Chain A
Amino acid sequence: MLIVSNKTSIARIPVKLHRRVCLVLTEDALLAEEILARKKLASDISGRLTNEVLLVRTGRLESVVAELQRMGHTPQVLQR
């Protein structure tokens, strides 16, 4: 019997690790747009990783949360 081993499935998967990243995960892209359109938030947000994910600048978490709450949102903050 011929046994074919699937090398790719057991090989170690290459990955780039980004540690201590602060990001905002929105329910949909529209909400991300709304956040980005807010001028006060835009300066705290470094950029858009995907349609729904925004990267927050280092050390700006608290001001982002406060501004989101001012906008009427109730963000769920997940700590480490």
Chain B
Amino acid sequence: MTEPIQKIWPELVRLILGRYDEKLLREVVQRFLRPRNQWPVEELIDRCVEAFDNTVLLNRRLKELDESRKTLLAALAQSGQCKWKLGQLIEISMCLGQDDGLSAVFDLLNQGFLLPDVVNLEQKDRLPKPCKSPYIKSFEQWIGFPGPEGLAIFLPPPISQRSIAFPLSLPQKYEPPEGAEILEPDPIAPVLQADGMEFPLRMSVLLQMVHKDPLRKNQQGGFFKRDLENLRANSMLSADPSDRLIEVPDLGILLTEIGLKLGVLVPKESELHPGTFPASWDEGLLAVLTEIWAALPAIDSWNPSTGLNDNPEDRSNPYNSACLVAVLALGNLPSNQWVDPELLESWVIDHHPYWKDRESIRPSRLKGWLVKFLLGIAFQIRMIQATKLLGGKYLVRLSPVGRSILGIQKENDLQDVIAKTLLVQPNLEILAFRQGLNPALARDLTNLATLKSIGPACQLLLEPESVYFALETGLRYEDICGLLERHGTRPTPQAVLDAIKTWSNKHERITIYASATLLEFPTAQDLENALSRGLPALKISDRFAVATSEEGIDFSQYRLTATRDYGLMPEKCVQVESDGVTLVVDISRSDLLLETELPRFADFVEDASSQQRRVYKLSPETLKKADQVGYTPTALDDWFQQRLGHSLTPAIQLILGAKSDAVPPSFETMLVVHLENELITDGIMQWPETAQWIHSRLGPCALTVNSESLEKLRKALLQAGHKLVESSPVQEA
């Protein structure tokens, strides 16, 4: 999991400032830090990073800022988002009353409160190296040539924290325009507020869905058609919530984008794979909702007006800044002030630069988007309270939770939930009553059981696969039972406990150590001694113990006789004798793989072995056995290449080549003609008169002839002046 930005911001600031040209850096630092001495660049950057943590200095500098700059910083701080596109900042700045949004951003960049994101914050787990040749000479130059990271701005968290309470230059009083109908809520109408668990629960659905089938993306960055259809058709992901106030287009797509921002989904090449729930899931509902709120402005491919924006030629998304300004405007009003969302939408449209030229904007982009955002998204993350008028229209106001999320109020109405909220049934179904759910419990249940429906009571099903998944995440049988007992309204049925026990036991039958450290002791007594000294390893035989990692092994107690790393290429430590079938292993260089591999295709020859060398012999029987356990001739040849540095010996190839359909060896009677030297032999083979009677050449000075051709060869040789005589027959033994 990647580190949150709150932890790694000093490193980010250092990396970004390291890309400033010295002149620009000194100018910025002069305004921000006002150093009295001429410090070297590295020290200047260090002091600057330290200054971000200096509350007194930071407050002093922020106090000196112009009100229009303060209000922009406050708006960004309340959004919770620390990375912004330059265009969005200009839009927000203009909505906040600035005629020229760019000058405010420039001013904040020049004073060091904002930084250009030249390190790509979204890939914070793969940060670039410090820059050796700073290239940002001025911010005007950076805007002209922003590089592959694009025009993005970074707001360091300390600045965000200190400026969150600055007043916003937004209306503090709700004043409907002249002629507009003044809507007052019915005093007896209920105040509607979501429980805030809808999105966290749908994140669980998304995670389980992606765990089964990763989502695929095409080259344009959009989803594959089938995946898109699945996202839209999934009854739990995209269906309307039970307490919905308005229909939201492509809710499943929005949740996928939020999941990506939170790390619940992880992009791998062109697919989205399951990730992990962020740490905020352990910190309570408010932390989770704050994180979801902070993720919203960074989503480009979805908007509340049309849903998914898959048009690569039109990536403009003014709704992020517009929706933020609308929520900020609600936060600026008194907490009990109800607002007509349509009037609020008109106000935002009047102030947002995107809608300045209304004639050129499609009608669908003009109306209805803010109502969908407020009643569909902000309502579900508990930021908005709503009340219904007689005509079916809704009025909205920012909820206490919404004010807490924006950081403008500490108190909220989130209460500790009831711990006992599960009903585990003997048919392995779990009913989780919504009022008792919190993000941590929802996450644990997601890891343990398959979600079947979400509603006032969520239905889950315990299945072998889901329990195995829970065990994979590190839970044990006792943990699972403890979870069900702790949150169950009734004792867990015995049948359920038995099923979980069975699945757990089955799971424990095979354990795979992916990359273990194996300790091999010379004697069993040595291993016992090591264990008695606290060796953190599992004994797997008389002389072997296995540890998942070397952490915790006190190496001062051991003398390493040898070390083998199985991540490296196997060592060549075997030699073959002249017979081609006897293999001699050099014990000092051998490893476990070798010692376990060899007995599978060769017999150990104890008599010929010693402490330094082990001798194995291959035979037709051992090679047949090897073939039965999967050692094909190709696999064997690979092994020889790795361990001996050459291919199979001819003797082994001879044995391996003996197949039933192969041409059988044959024999026949031939006469051998021995010649005096190679030259004569070559001559006989070349001259047609003699060559026609030769059957084959055996060697440099030997030829074979059929008995029928012998006389003809003799005559031909006589013509050339050579007399063929019969040598004395070999006496049989």
Contacts and interface: CB of A to CB of B under 8 A. Distances in A.
A binds B: yes
Given A13-B558, A14-B526, A49-B596, A19 B506 contact: no
B517 interface: yes
A50 B591 CA distance: 15
Given A12-B558, A47-B596, A18 B564 contact: yes
Given A12-B559, A19-B565, A47-B593, A78 B513 contact: yes
A20 B565 contact: yes
B592 A55 contact: yes
Interface stretch (B7-15, B28-36, B119-127, B538-546): B538-546
Contacts of A18: 517-520, 563-564, 566, 591-592
B595 interface: yes
B373 to A, nearest CB: 42
Contacts of B472: 76-77
Contact of A22 (B514, B519, B533, B598): B514
Given A42-B630, A50-B544, A26 B559 contact: no
A61 B596 contact: no
Contacts of A42: 629-630
Interface residues of B, number: 59
Nearest to B546: A23
Nearest to B629: A42
Interface residues of A, number: 48
Interface string B594-608: 011111100000000
B725 interface: no
B509 interface: yes
Given A31-B509, A50-B544, A76-B508, A19 B517 contact: yes
A75 B561 contact: no
A46 B593 contact: yes
Contacts of A65: 512
B529 interface: yes
B510 interface: yes
Interface in B446-472: 464, 468, 471-472
Interface in B543-563: 544, 546, 548-550, 556-563
A5 interface: no
A70 interface: no
B224 to A, nearest CB: 23
A18 B564 CA distance: 5
Contact of B560 (A16, A24, A58, A75): A16
A25 B557 contact: no
A13 B529 contact: yes
B506 A74 contact: yes
Interface in A13-37: 13-27, 31, 35-36
A27 B566 contact: no
7 contacts: A16-B563, A21-B513, A39-B629, A50-B544, A53-B541, A58-B566, A75-B510
Interface of B: 464, 468, 471-472, 503, 506-522, 526, 529-530, 533, 540-541, 544, 546, 548-550, 556-567, 591-593, 595-600, 629-632, 635
Interface of A: 8-9, 12-27, 31, 35-36, 39-40, 42-43, 46-50, 52-53, 55-58, 61, 64-65, 68, 73-80
